[in-house]
Structure 1
Amino acid sequence: MVTDETRVVLTSPLSLEGEGESAVDYRAPNLLQRIFSLLKNVRPGSDLTRFQLSPLFNIPKSHLQCYGESVYCVNNDMLSQCTNGKSSIDRFTSVVAWSISTLRPVIFGVAPYNPILGETHHVSKGNLNVLLEQVSHHPPVSALHATDEKENVELIWCHHPVPKFHGASVETEVHGIRQLKLLNQGESYVMNSPKLLIRFFPVPGVDWVGNVRICCQETGLEAELCYKGSSFLGGRANHRSIKGKIFESSSLKTIYKIDGHWDRTVSIKDIKNGKPRVIYNAIEVISGLKTPKVKNPKGVWPSESAVVWSEVSQGILSKDWEKASEAKKVIEEKERGLVKERESRGEPWFPKHFTLSYSKEGGWDCSPIEKWVPPAPFVVY
C-alpha cells in the first residue's frame, strides 16, 4: 500500500499467507546468484553489522517497522489476555503465547533497511500505542516502548542484532532484553529473543532458532522454549517447531510441557493430568494482517521510517532499482555528513525518546523517557 506518494510509503506486514507473495513482489531477478556474488569475498566468522546492502536485497520497510509490526499487527488482543488472566499461572501461560506471536515469517534473500540514527516508528492500534527509535547506529540498537493505559500494560524492548557469516549460513544473535509489565498485577516478565538463521545450502531458507527464557520474579514462574528450524535437507517435521516447559523457579518443578510449531499451533500439557490444550494458533493471530494507515498527516515526524525510506521503497515496489539505489545513496551520504559534523564539533548525539546505557554485564539498556506513549499519526484499524 502506498499512501501519499511524495512523502509516506506504507507496505503490508509480513504474515503467514503473505510470505510467498511478498517474496515474488520484492525480490530482484537472479537473487540467489546475486547473494553468492555479494558474499564471495566475506570471510567465515565475519561480523556483518556494517555490511552495506543494495536495495536489490531489501524489502520496502525498515527493521523498526518489522519490530513494531510484531507488537501491533495481530488479529487477537493477546496482551489483554495476559493481564486478564485469573491466576498467576494463567497470566504466565498467556505471556508465553504472546511471546510466540511476536515471531513472523522472514523472506529468504532480502532484509529490511538498517535504520538511520534517530529514525522513529510510531503506530497505534486501539488503546495500544507503540513507539520505536533507533538509538544507536554503530552498533545498531533499536528501542521499543509500548503502552496501553486502559489495560495498564507496558512493553520495553532493546534490540541489538549481531549478524555473522558462517560460509553456508548467516546467524543473527539478537542481544537485549524484552520486558512486559502487567502493572495492575505488579508483575514484570523478562525474556530474550531467538536467533535468526539464514541458510544457503543445501536448501535455502530462513528460520528462528535457539533458546528463549521467560522469567517472572514476582510469581516465581519461568519458561524455557527451544525453537528449531528445518532439518539439514529441508524436512518439515521439525520445521518452525517449539518445545519447552513452564516450571517453578524455586523447586524446578515442571507444571506444563510445551510443544508445537510457531507457524501453526502450540499446545501445553498439564503434567498432573496429562491433558493438552492449544494456547496459540498462528492462523488466527498472524494471518490477514492489516497495513497501518495515516490518520493524522500533520503529526507524521520527518524521522518516521515510512518518510525516511519513501523514495527507496517506491523504487523497490516499482522494481526501478536505479531509482532505489540513488535514493538510498542520498540517505547514506547525508547520514555520514551529519556524523562528521557532530565529530568536528565534539557534539554527542542523544536519543529523543529513550536514555541509552551499556554495561559489560547487562549489555544495552534502553529506558523510555515518557511514562506513556502518546497516540500515533499511523493507526491499524
Structure 2
Amino acid sequence: MLTSAPGALVKELNKATEGKRHSKIVLTKPFSLEIESDSEPTYSYRAPNLIRRLLSLLKNVRPGSDLTNLQLPPLFYFPKSQLQCYGESVYSTTSNSNLLSKCNNEQSPLERLTSVVAWSISTTRPTSFGVSPYNPILGETHHVSKGNLNVLLEQVSINPPVSALHATDDKENIEMIWCQQPVPKFRGTSIEAEVHGKRVLKLRNHGETYEMNCPRLSIRILPVPGVSWVGNVNILCKETGLVAELSYKSSYSFLGLGGNSKLVKGRILDSSSFNVLYEIDGQWDRTVKVKDTSSGKVRVIYDAKEVISGLKAPIVKDAEGVWQTESALIWGELTEAIISNDWEKAKEAKQGVEERQRKMLIERETKGEHWTPKNFLVTYSNESGLECDYSPINKWVPPAPIIDL
C-alpha cells in the first residue's frame, strides 16, 4: 500500500521547485449544473472577443490536424488540470449520492448493470465553451478521498498524453481503473476530442468486471458556439453477458440554433440472445429513464440534479501529507492568478511550470535515465512497443490528505 509520495520524482520536483515548497494548494469548484451565484462565482473566464481569439489560434491549423500539443495562453484556461477534471468526474458528487453503493447492492445482474449505466452517465459532466483545463505535466498526481472512496490519478505519459486512474472503496469492495488519452482534432468549424483507452469498474463481491469507453467532446466554433458530448458508449460485463449500448447525441436546428445537446439514448441487452431487456432514454443533465421491454414499466435511473448540482471544491485535510506532485500544488500559482484575473502573473506562473518540466527532462536525458510511472505498471501489448496499458501497482488506494465533502 502507498504510504508516502513517489520517491525519485519527488526528489526531482524538490530540486526544480526550490524556493516554491510553500506554494499554495489551490482547489477550485468543479463544473456543476446550476449557474453560479454572485456569492459563489464561477472560475471560468470569458476572454474578450473569444471566438475571434480562438480562430486566430487555429488560423494556421489544417482541418484534421491533431491539437494534442497546442499550447493555449492563460486566457483560455479553466483553473485546474485535466487530471483533476478526470478525478472530479469520479469523486465529486453530492453528499447524498450513492450510485456506486447501488451498483454493489443490487440483487440481480441486470439491475447491477442498470446501476452501472447510471454511474457511467454521472461521469459525464458539464463543461464550458472557450476554456480548457491545463495539460498535466509528467508525473503529476491527484489524490482525493470521498467517504470510503479513495482516488489516485497520475499523468503517466506526455507524449502521447496519457492519464491513469485507480480508485478503490474497501467498504463496498469496489475498484476502478481508467487509462485515458485525449486526442483533439480540428474539423474546420469545430474541434472534436476523442478519448482513447478504457474504463474498468470491478464489483468484487459479485465477481463482475464492467468495461466501458466514454463519449467524445465536440466543441462547435461556428455558426453558433457550443460544447456537447457525442458518440457511442458500450458497457460490457463478460461474466453475465449483459451489454449496455448508449448513444450521446446533439440535435440542432438550422444554423445550430435550438435543439438539445445533452441527449442520451440506448438499450440493455443479453449478448447471447440479442434480446433487448431495457430501453434507455433521457438527457444526461436532467433525468434518464429505462423502459422494461416486457412489462412496459418506465422508471428513472439517474437524476443529474441529485448527483452533480451544488458541487463544492475539495478541502485540504492534511497539508503536510500532500505530495509535491499534487496537481493543486503544482498549478497553485497559475490557478490563483486566473481566479484573480491577473493575466501577467498567470503567464509567468504557466511558463514557470513548463520551464521546470523542461529542465527535469533535460536532466534525465543527460543522465540517460528513463522515466517510469510511480503508481502504475506499464504493459506493452504488441512487439513494436507502441501500444501499452497501465495497471495500478497497489491493490488499494490509501486515504488522501485532500477530501471531497
Q: TM-score band (shorter)? A: over 0.9
Q: CA deviation at 1:166?
A: 0.9
Spell out, residue by residue over 1:334-355, the C-alpha distance to the aligned partner (whole angstroms, 9 max, x if none). Answer: 1112112212222110111011
In the alignment, which residue of structure 1 is the partner of 2:126? 105
Asked if 1:61 corresponds to 2:83, the answer is: no
Letter in 1 for 2:70: F
| Whole-angstrom CA distance in 2 between matches of 1:66 and 1:25 | 13
In the alignment, which residue of structure 1 is the partner of 2:166? 145
Asked if 1:134 corresponds to 2:155, the answer is: yes
Compared CA separation, residues 204 and 24, structure 1 to 2 (3 A): farther
In the alignment, which residue of structure 1 is the partner of 2:10? none
Q: CA deviation at 1:356?
A: 2.3
Spell out, residue by residue over 1:278-330, the C-alpha distance to the aligned partner (whole angstroms, 9 max, x if none). Answer: 10011111001121000011100111000000111111011111100111011
Instruction: List aligned pairs for 1:92-241, cutoff 5 A.
Output: 92-231=113-252, 233-241=255-263
In the alignment, which residue of structure 2 is the partner of 1:373? 397
| Whole-angstrom CA distance in 2 between matches of 1:230 and 1:6 | 45
In the alignment, which residue of structure 2 is the partner of 1:50? 69
| Whole-angstrom CA distance in 1 between matches of 2:337 and 2:132 | 15
2:335 to 310, 313, 326: 313
Q: Is the contact between residue 173 and residue 195 of structure 1 (CA under 8 Å) also seen in structure 2?
A: yes
Q: CA deviation at 1:360?
A: 5.8
Compared CA separation, residues 5 and 262, structure 1 to 2 (3 A): farther
Letter in 2 for 1:101: S
Q: CA deviation at 1:239?
A: 2.1
Q: CA deviation at 1:29?
A: 2.4
| Whole-angstrom CA distance in 2 between matches of 1:162 and 1:143 | 15
In the alignment, which residue of structure 2 is the partner of 1:17? 34
Spell out, residue by residue over 1:246-268, the C-alpha distance to the aligned partner (whole angstroms, 9 max, x if none). Answer: 00011111000000000011000
Identity %: 63
**Larger CA deviation: 15-24 vs 211-220:** 15-24
Alignment partner of 1:134: what SS? strand
Spell out, residue by residue over 1:9-63, the C-alpha distance to the aligned partner (whole angstroms, 9 max, x if none). Answer: 1101111114798767522222222111111111111101111111111011000
Structure 1, unaligned runs of 5 or more? none
Asked if 1:71 corresponds to 2:90, the answer is: yes
**Larger CA deviation: 52-61 vs 29-38:** 29-38
Q: Is the contact between residue 334 and residue 345 of structure 2 (CA under 8 Å) also seen in structure 1?
A: yes
Alignment partner of 2:335: what SS? helix
Q: Is the contact between residue 229 and residue 261 of structure 2 (CA under 8 Å) also seen in structure 1?
A: no
Letter in 1 for 2:50: L
In the alignment, which residue of structure 1 is the partner of 2:286? 264
In the alignment, which residue of structure 2 is the partner of 1:244? 266
Q: Is the contact between residue 229 and residue 238 of structure 1 (CA under 8 Å) also seen in structure 2?
A: yes
In the alignment, which residue of structure 1 is the partner of 2:347? 325
In the alignment, which residue of structure 1 is the partner of 2:377? 355
Alignment partner of 2:365: what SS? helix
**Larger CA deviation: 285-294 vs 28-37:** 28-37
Compared CA separation, residues 360 and 33, structure 1 to 2 (3 A): farther
In the alignment, which residue of structure 1 is the partner of 2:16? none
In the alignment, which residue of structure 2 is the partner of 1:299? 321
Q: CA deviation at 1:129?
A: 0.3
Compared CA separation, residues 173 and 378, structure 1 to 2 (3 A): same
Asked if 1:8 corresponds to 2:30, the answer is: no
Q: CA deviation at 1:358?
A: 4.0
| Whole-angstrom CA distance in 2 between matches of 1:139 and 1:229 | 29
| Whole-angstrom CA distance in 1 between matches of 2:148 and 2:303 | 23
Alignment partner of 2:206: what SS? coil
Alignment partner of 1:240: what SS? strand
| Whole-angstrom CA distance in 1 between matches of 2:108 and 2:261 | 33
Spell out, residue by residue over 1:193-233, the C-alpha distance to the aligned partner (whole angstroms, 9 max, x if none). Answer: 11010001111011110000000001110010000124153
Spell out, residue by residue over 1:132-191, the C-alpha distance to the aligned partner (whole angstroms, 9 max, x if none). Answer: 000001100000000000000000000000000111000011000100000000000000
Q: Is the contact between residue 156 and residue 179 of structure 1 (CA under 8 Å) also seen in structure 2?
A: yes
Q: CA deviation at 1:105?
A: 0.7
| Whole-angstrom CA distance in 1 between matches of 2:330 and 2:258 | 39
Q: Is the contact between residue 14 and residue 106 of structure 1 (CA under 8 Å) also seen in structure 2?
A: yes
Q: Is the contact between residue 75 and residue 343 of structure 2 (CA under 8 Å) also seen in structure 1?
A: yes
Structure 2, unaligned runs of 5 or more? 1-20
| Whole-angstrom CA distance in 2 between matches of 1:161 and 1:366 | 15
Q: RMSD over aligned Cα, in angstroms? A: 1.9
| Whole-angstrom CA distance in 1 between matches of 2:260 and 2:240 | 32
Alignment partner of 1:8: what SS? coil
Letter in 1 for 2:400: A
Letter in 1 for 2:366: S
| Whole-angstrom CA distance in 1 between matches of 2:336 and 2:78 | 11
TM-score where L is the length of structure 2: 0.90
Q: Is the contact between residue 28 and residue 43 of structure 2 (CA under 8 Å) also seen in structure 1?
A: no
